[in-house]
Structure 1
């Protein structure tokens, strides 16, 4: 009797079929095309041996698969000046794949899990890559993610201010000197040079962003200390409500007020269009005081929203049926926002838990925000 042919599922180096790769993570990311330079939203599934990406969440067959054995992960990836939260995967065959998350915590979550997969695939060998930690010689005991969380603390962290420089108003920002002072006062650094080194690590890893020409020039200059201890060098938290405005008309000021509130929750959801009733992935940012949720095209590199929903007095409920949803193969985890002027918005979360979180957060903002 001959040897049966291999099935399409089996691979040369794969475990037996009862040991198929375990799925670790899935969700929406924006991916740069490998042939064209366009960026598109894809549904990504991370398993123990690679990443598969799909055109739609409901597709059975992936558009492509990225093997992670021998791959190198670079995060943050700063190859694209107008895009933040990007990371790069270079495969063992030197093929580059670029992904963009919707916000900082999402990128950090993906990066952490992908790094763990790569390390496991490499066996006992230590995974190495170009690292900010190595380039600025940060001690191994420093955890920049934990430090960032402490800095964001509403009571005891770095205070976000509204500062005016050269006929521009910068909202939700602070100076480089403020960061240095905070790091020293909290015993995170012994002196100002050491604090600047820590702040530069936070900047290079994407936790801090430069605001204004002076800080941007310093961050792009390649200096060892890219954060300036200067009252004119402004910075902001990557996940803050930062925006910059010049002197403008009253109408513009009213519009800018929408972005004043703190960010409560953000991420990608599927949204039904008002006219064509088609469904598209949109990035949502929920703010309080004033109570607004803005939605964006996640494939674009700019910060201009496609629209906004004023949530004060809105009703938010889970729904099981949405008109035209079946036509676009959209089912499950649906919810609806009905505004005070009776406008209806239909959205889909990726999981039941995510739907509950969004409904709870939007409901709270609609009751407490103005």
Structure 2
């Protein structure tokens, strides 16, 4: 399935504010531009051979979700997606197409419905919620491998077992296909070198039906700990830093775009921002944001925020591994304080 969608586009040599909405199609060797979807011939094409991607591209102060494509002839082209998942999908697919050109192989995007033959009747969002059910879903465990402990995690085999026992698939091969769809759409995330390497493969199924391939739910409480070689005890290195700031903020979920109140604790040396369910205390963090090398900025718009009546005092944290977190403070002063504190910690903390 060839990716195609409306994107805002700007090319080198134009005024940065001069953006046009064009229909963009990713082919084997280039990006084709159409004025509208029904056009039979493209207005132009950007060759991908020898090209390079930059994402996120942060030189536009008022534009979010921008990525840059630099051609072999040093021409820069800028694209703005409508939401985070759209941008990340485009970046991943374009990079894969560039890699295929370098290696002389055929580019084929893994579509969750056409390429891997996922039935149209399957609702991945509903399936994800069923898998996360604390009583009847896939059980989250503490798993150990290579002197590391993976918390709130499960194996690829456990995923397939659950799908079969709940009559979601007829056999393990269908389970692999459905599990790969969940990975492609971001509902399941790889944890550990084995599962991460598989997701970068261009084969039809990337979920591994193996007991040593670990995965976790998106926006879960997953975190990884290292074992001490001296005392063979779990080190919680990320919690060692001094508390710099703490308080409640609204946070947007990564998959389900609703907003929830979370208590945030900002720690320095090492630089981490942990968030918790404010009704359950500070014992178990729901997630951790490693701030070293991150970027934090005030923003005025977040996709899907208005339908949850979330407006104003917004800011965004983009980590070194390009994960985005959208947050809202109660007042302009509070937003300013959080941004300044996070910026300081991101620069000074390890």
TM-score band w.r.t. shorter chain? 0.3 to 0.5
TM-score normalized by the length of structure 1: 0.45
> Greater CA radius of gyration, 1 or 2?
1
